[in-house]
Amino acid sequence: MKLLEEKIVEKISEIYDPEIPVNIYELGLIYDIIIDNHFNVSITMTLTSPNCPVAETLPKEVEEKVATLNSVKNVAVSVVFEPPWDKDMMSDEAKLELGML
C-alpha cells in the first residue's frame, strides 16, 4: 500500500493551482489519502478558499489523475473546509518556491 500511496502522491503532484506555481500536494491542499484492501482510494482535500475559481474542476482533476493508476479500482475525492487552509500547510519547498522562506 505504501508504494501505491507514493504513486498517488506523484500523480497529485502533477496538478498545479492555476494561480500559484506550486503543485497542490506541496501547497498542502491534500489532507488525507486512504487506500482500502480492495484498492479503492479516498482522498480528502481542500481549496485555498471556498471561492477558489477551480472549485468545480480541481477535485475532478485529482480523481481523474489518480484513476489512471493501474491498481486503483475507484477514487472518491471529498472537499472539506475544516480545518481551513492557510500558508502554514505548505511544504518548505513550496514556501521556498514562492519566496516565503
- What is the structure's pLDDT at 20? 84
What mean pLDDT do residues 52-77 have?
94
The predicted model scores a pTM of: 0.93
C-alpha cell at 90: 505548505
Mean pLDDT over 70-97 rounds to 94
**How many domains does the chain fold into?**
1
**What long-range pairs does 90-99 form, CB within 8 A, spacing at least 24?**
90/22, 90/26, 90/27, 90/28, 91/26, 91/28, 93/26, 94/22, 94/26, 94/27, 94/28, 97/21, 97/22, 97/26, 98/20, 98/21, 98/22
99 domain residue, yes or no: no
Range of the domain at 43: 2-85
DSSP, res 85: P
Q: Residue 64 sits in a domain of what CATH number?
A: 3.30.300.130
| Whether residue 1 has pLDDT greater than 80 | no
Report whether 77 contacts 34 (CB < 8 A): no
Q: Average per-residue pLDDT in the chain?
A: 93
In this prediction, residues 23-51 reach a mean pLDDT of 95
